[in-house]
Amino acid sequence: MGQFIDLTAKDGFTFPAYVAEPAGQPKGAVVVVQEIFGVNSHIRAVADGYAASGYLAVAPATFHRVKQGVELGYSEDDMKAGFALKMAVEALPPPGVLQDIQAAVDYAGKAGKVGIVGYCWGGLLTWRSAAVVSGLSAAAPYYGGGMTTPEESALQPKVPVLVHFGNNDHWIPMPTVDAFRAAHPEVEVHVYECGHGFNCDQRGSYNAEAAKLARERTLAFFAKHVG
């Protein structure tokens, strides 16, 4: 359904993004932010799913500034490689990869209002984008690793936010989720009976019931705020 195109950030850096077009006139757009595994087959499938639901879907390659063509699986070695790449991107001078997400949002804006959804590290980037990226109408982070820390929780979103967490996520302890919820009463927080990565059907932590419910809630959220 989709194809890769090149986008250019404000600083002149060019990077690929996977773009999936809906069958008819788009209702709006959704920027899909990858996990630590690249714009792999799962993230492309997520983008295709949003296109099938009527949105122009854009998934920027957020590793491209440190390594090109990253497409990892979910083995232990893949996890280590992805985590190292994530740390390298996080070490970039500000605004770092957020300017690539901004370019993706700018491109997606041709379809109308723009929502953003991200998973794991992409969930954290989605939360940051809700506070600093312009042109967004809604944000939906899934199990954003680090977003419940005091530093990240101190960010103030400029758009409506819907968040999904798993109550057995060893990366995101429930006390930090409770603290995040208390700090952000304006954010709609949902907690599911599952662990980290529950949305990814290529991982052992996949939970079909939680993934289905989270997607239904996210689509309803985007229908309300994006189109």
Is 201 marked active-site? no
**CA dihedral sign, ordered 43, 125, 170, 212:** negative
For 146-159, b/e burial (b = at least 16 CB within 10 A) is bbbeeebbebebeb
Nearest C-alpha neighbor of 120 from the set 56, 171, 74? 171
Residue of 48, 100, 106, 169 marked active site = 169
Residue of 42, 164, 184, 196 marked active site = 196
Is 169 marked active-site? yes
Residue of 64, 120, 200, 225 marked active site = 120
Is 120 marked active-site? yes
User: Whole-angstrom Cα distance, residue 30 to residue 11?
Assistant: 23
The gap from C-alpha 101 to its chain's centroid, in whole angstroms, comes to 10
Q: Which residues are catalytic?
A: 120, 169, 196
